A = this chain, B = another copy of it.
Amino acid sequence: MNDGRSRFRDHLYHDEGLGFWLDTSRVQAPEGFLSALEPRLASAYAAMNALEGGSIANADENRMVGHYWLRAPDLAPDAAITEAITTTLARIHAFASDVHAARVRPARATKFQHLLVIGIGGSALGPELVAAALGSPADRMRVWFFDNTDPDGFDRVLDAIGDGLSATLCVVISKSGGTKETRNGMLEAESAYTRLGLDFAKHAVAVTGEGSELDRYAVSRRFLERFPMWDWVGGRTSELSAVGLLPAALQGLDINGLLEGARRMDVLTRRNVTQTNPAALLAAAWLAETGGVGKKDMVFLPYKDRLELFSRYAQQLVMESLGKELDRKGTAVFQGIAVYGNKGSTDQHAYVQQLRDGVDNAFVTFIEVLRDRTPQRLTIEVEKDVTSGDYLSGFLQGTRAALSERGRGSMTITLETLDAVSLGALIALYERAVGLYAELVDINGYHQPGVEAGKKAAKDVIDLQKRVWRVLESRAGEALTLEEITAAALGDDAETVFWILRHLSANPGRRIERVKVAQGATGLSSSPLDWSFRMIAAS
């Protein structure tokens, strides 16, 4: 080993049992960084220990943080939680097996063959990641997602499912049970079943908190089944609860493998000797690269098509957890780390130019999977003794070297194979690394106070729209100016009224039309804000 590369030997973490490696030799950190960090890491270990023991780790919301118990129910601080986890897992297995065996079956088809998951954010990103990473055409059910409130998006998915809708099982997922995107997606799906003369409830399952709006709806409509969400599991760490396990089990994926991988990674990341704890090594590397103040973006380059969605999953986990205004003392710190990336070598063509030569505001996390393809598949040579997979590995190494040459930092996670166990381990690794990092910078990594502001502002827009609608309806046929409508809707925000009317009037079915003001004698065209609007009287 030559001198320049002895860093590699000293910074290569390996766990043989999991087939997992972490190389931090290319992280840009000063000599002695890790030992200087040790006291803060020791506090972080203690905090994570308390969290796993059932402390109120999410103080703002007065909640425990229990996602680690999901894969080790005996660690839960009380027997009722252990029991709830175990029972739910058994019910998931039983329900999936009933669906696969057509003991639970649709009204007008012999068997459920499609799975439509309706959820957003923490209720979609995990299931999407797992479906893409582990799924194949041989799955027990084909999986689709409604993960937005885009009407055209709903139509596209329904068009793709086509006649298969009568053999489609819907899993509606909302922890709070009141997420509007999910509520809308459910109503749009329900309407599609109704148009086919089918009872939606006989094709629907809910995953939600007990007693939530969705839960009550599921009870009153008699959904096929309901699975619980618990207040001690955050949306962004819910993949190994019913949120992620139910869709994966229905798809026919190995959910026991996911849980086992997470449990085994938890054993490694529970260690309080930094050199032996890969999550601590990751969190420390992030701190070194970002200065602990988010000064560099975290770019994921997994060299594996199946992991293309990992960056989106990590985006939520990292950004929603760490992107905080205040630390735990209440000081304004404006924390966070921006996350992006898709896959290598594809992304090399998009932006390694900038990462290497341009603005120095990113560090890369490479993810390598050693096993190129399933062993039963034929491997061809693209040159003598060289395969496509050798190129994939070569591009990763080449990019790592090209960045390193320029003092741009990176770290590399290597997995022997990509399967349920290693994916579960990867999920658990990042959950713990984010938890540790939040401790290192002393923020609450488990709440999301800033999300409410946008929802509240959106609700205000919808409320204003309802008032605008009533104004136009009450004076149907009459062209009204923005100012007139705004005043009559008891508002003072003509800009928002304009946005609302511009949108409504672009959709013919809504019966609201733009009335353009004639150009004045000056010949200057009028501003769209001088348009009037009117509701066409119902025919």
Asked if A122 and B460 make an inter-chain contact with CB atoms under 8 angstroms apart, the answer reads no
A residues 378-397 with Cβ under 8 Å of B? Answer: 378-380, 382-395, 397
Asked if B402 and A457 make an inter-chain contact with CB atoms under 8 angstroms apart, the answer reads yes
Among candidates B151, B349, B462, B508, residue contacting A386 with C-beta atoms closer than 8 Å:
B462
- Contacts A125-B350, A340-B340 given; does A457 touch B150 at CB 8 Å: no
Among candidates B344, B354, B391, B450, residue contacting A180 with C-beta atoms closer than 8 Å:
B391
| Residues of B contacting A450 in the complex (Cβ-Cβ under 8 angstroms) | 352-354, 356-358, 402
At the interface, yes or no: A306 with Cβ under 8 Å from chain B?
yes
Asked if B335 and A338 make an inter-chain contact with CB atoms under 8 angstroms apart, the answer reads no
- Contacts A357-B323, A380-B187, A398-B460 given; does A12 touch B343 at CB 8 Å: no
Given A297-B338, A323-B351, A323-B354, output 13 extra A-B contacts at Cβ < 8 Å: A1-B529, A137-B160, A149-B389, A149-B391, A150-B392, A151-B379, A152-B305, A152-B418, A325-B357, A325-B358, A334-B358, A370-B502, A372-B507
| Residues of B contacting A455 in the complex (Cβ-Cβ under 8 angstroms) | 398
Asked if B373 and A155 make an inter-chain contact with CB atoms under 8 angstroms apart, the answer reads yes
Asked if A494 and B1 make an inter-chain contact with CB atoms under 8 angstroms apart, the answer reads yes
Interface size class of A (residues with CB under 8 A): 35 or more
Asked if B402 and A322 make an inter-chain contact with CB atoms under 8 angstroms apart, the answer reads no
Asked if A509 and B375 make an inter-chain contact with CB atoms under 8 angstroms apart, the answer reads yes
At the interface, yes or no: A256 with Cβ under 8 Å from chain B?
no
Interface mask (A442-457 → B, CB under 8 Å = 1, otherwise 0): 0000001111011111
At the interface, yes or no: A212 with Cβ under 8 Å from chain B?
no
Among candidates B324, B370, B398, residue contacting A456 with C-beta atoms closer than 8 Å:
B398
- Of A312, A459, A495, most buried by chain B (CB within 10 Å of CB) is A495
Asked if A348 and B451 make an inter-chain contact with CB atoms under 8 angstroms apart, the answer reads yes
- Contacts A312-B342, A456-B398, A457-B397 given; does A149 touch B386 at CB 8 Å: no
Asked if A312 and B389 make an inter-chain contact with CB atoms under 8 angstroms apart, the answer reads no
Asked if A359 and B346 make an inter-chain contact with CB atoms under 8 angstroms apart, the answer reads no
Asked if B370 and A507 make an inter-chain contact with CB atoms under 8 angstroms apart, the answer reads yes
Minimal beta-carbon separation of A172 from chain B (angstroms)? 14
* Prevailing SS type, chain A contact patch: helix
Asked if B388 and A454 make an inter-chain contact with CB atoms under 8 angstroms apart, the answer reads no
Asked if B370 and A506 make an inter-chain contact with CB atoms under 8 angstroms apart, the answer reads yes
Asked if B391 and A349 make an inter-chain contact with CB atoms under 8 angstroms apart, the answer reads no
Closest residue to A191 on the B side, CB-wise?
B380
Among candidates B319, B323, B393, B462, residue contacting A503 with C-beta atoms closer than 8 Å:
B393
Asked if A458 and B391 make an inter-chain contact with CB atoms under 8 angstroms apart, the answer reads yes
Cα distance A294–B380 in the bound complex, in angstroms: 43
Interface mask (A156-187 → B, CB under 8 Å = 1, otherwise 0): 10011010000000000000000011011101
Cα distance A116–B267 in the bound complex, in angstroms: 44
Asked if A362 and B338 make an inter-chain contact with CB atoms under 8 angstroms apart, the answer reads yes
Closest residue to A491 on the B side, CB-wise?
B2
| Residues of B contacting A162 in the complex (Cβ-Cβ under 8 angstroms) | 137
Cα distance A337–B312 in the bound complex, in angstroms: 20
- Of A14, A21, A397, A508, most buried by chain B (CB within 10 Å of CB) is A397
- Of A156, A304, A398, A494, most buried by chain B (CB within 10 Å of CB) is A398
Minimal beta-carbon separation of A381 from chain B (angstroms)? 9
